[in-house]
Amino acid sequence: MKQRPIALKKGDLIGIIAPSSPPKKAQLQASLAFLDKLGLRYVFGGAVNEVNGYLAGSDEERLADLHTMFADPAIKGIICACGGYGAARFTDAIDFELLAKNPKILWGYSDITFLHNAIGNNSNLVTFHGPMLASDVAEESFQSSSALQFQQLFEPTILQYDLNFGPIKTRVGGQVTAEVVGGNLSLIANGIGTPFQLDVAGKILLIEDVGEEPYRVDCMLNQLRQAGMLDQLTGVIIGDFSEAQPKKQQETLELDDVFSHYFSPLHIPVVSEVKIGHCQPHFAIPLGVEATIDADEPKITFQAGVRKGD
């Protein structure tokens, strides 16, 4: 079992970091009122205000922010400002022992997937796949049901995703209980062949993505297949795949065809159209906890991602 961080309480100090691309300053500033409503205080990492092309400062600066936030006992949790690209550039320099000795909440998604998977594998920590400040919270499309997802950080909470929250489609029936891992499909594929390849053996895999056409999703799933990862799974949660319409091809397979091709032969529970990912509403989940897929119901249950403090 992975180590769960201690739950937040009102008045706690959290760190805001930009491990990948630079956040839009106006959106980040606008999102701070949300943190105020949660009763949280906050401090910014130094790279948040840096711009190095498509990166938020240098790799060394972004890595230093991550290390500083984990090492500082006054900081009780870390929320990422946005995704983009760049977290993988410094992952091989992370002090995973430091993170393991100072377990705390790390919250984000998209490019943050590379950190989730590396930290889960190497520091044995539960981390959180959820909406971010500048890219989600500050947007007019941000929904109240997405905002409520942050409450799981304050109290150990068993989460249930079903039709009351959003769509969920049964692709392959059955039930399974196992650890849930994954996140953005592009980043999972990018990790193959590296020291940070996602460990999926006996686990439930979550995948989501944005702006990827069916042939690109096909390519990435084929990479997982040829790497032997799909045969190791016990269940699959297919999250949101928005903006997936082909841009040039007149003839194309649909995403449904692609998912059926790769997942139906596995004969394990598979659900799709789940509102996890680049979407609204956005259901946030702890990665590394035990989850149960009941694909016949259909519903998914996730165990709590935090623990009570001493």
Of these residues, 123, 186, 213, 278, which one is catalytic?
278
What value does the mean pLDDT take over residues 234-246? 94
247 dihedral zone (left: phi>0; alpha: psi -120 to 50; beta): alpha
Known catalytic residue at 278? yes
In 3D space, the residue among 39, 52, 40, 38 whose CA is nearest the CA of residue 16 turns out to be 40
CB atoms within 10 A of CB 60: 11
Q: How does pLDDT run across 105-143, given as a tens digit for each residue? A: 999 999 999 999 999 999 999 999 999 999 999 999 999
Q: What is the mean pLDDT of the chain?
A: 97
Catalytic residue flag (residue 290) = no
pLDDT value for 267: 95
pLDDT digits (tens, 9 = 90+) for 64-74: 999 999 999 99
Q: Give me the CATH topology for the region 159-302.
A: Glucose Oxidase; domain 1 (3.50.30)
pTM above 0.85, yes or no: yes
Beta strands in the chain (DSSP E): 13-17, 41-44, 75-80, 105-108, 127-129, 159-161, 169-172, 175-184, 204-210, 235-242, 270-272, 285-287, 290-294, 299-302
**Block residue for tokens 């849930």:** 180
CATH of 13-153, one of 1.10.150.110, 3.40.50.1860, 3.40.50.10740, 3.40.50.720: 3.40.50.10740
110 noted as active-site residue: yes
Same fold, 13-153 and 159-302: no
Q: Which CA distances in Å does 62 have to 89, 104, 309?
A: 10, 18, 29
- In the set 21, 31, 110, 272, the catalytic residue is 110
Domain boundaries, the chain: 13-153, 159-302
Q: How confident is the model at residue 1 (pLDDT cuts 50, 70, 90)?
A: confident
Catalytic pick among 61, 179, 208, 213: 208
Cα–Cα distance for residue pair 14/141, rounded to 1 Å: 24
Q: Is the pLDDT of residue 271 over 90?
A: yes
Q: Are 176 and 235 in contact (CB under 8 A)?
A: yes
| Residue 82 contacts residue 21 (beta carbons within 8 Å) | yes
pLDDT digits (tens, 9 = 90+) for 133-181: 999 999 999 999 999 999 999 999 999 999 999 999 999 999 999 999 9
- pLDDT grade for 85, boundaries at 50, 70 and 90: very high
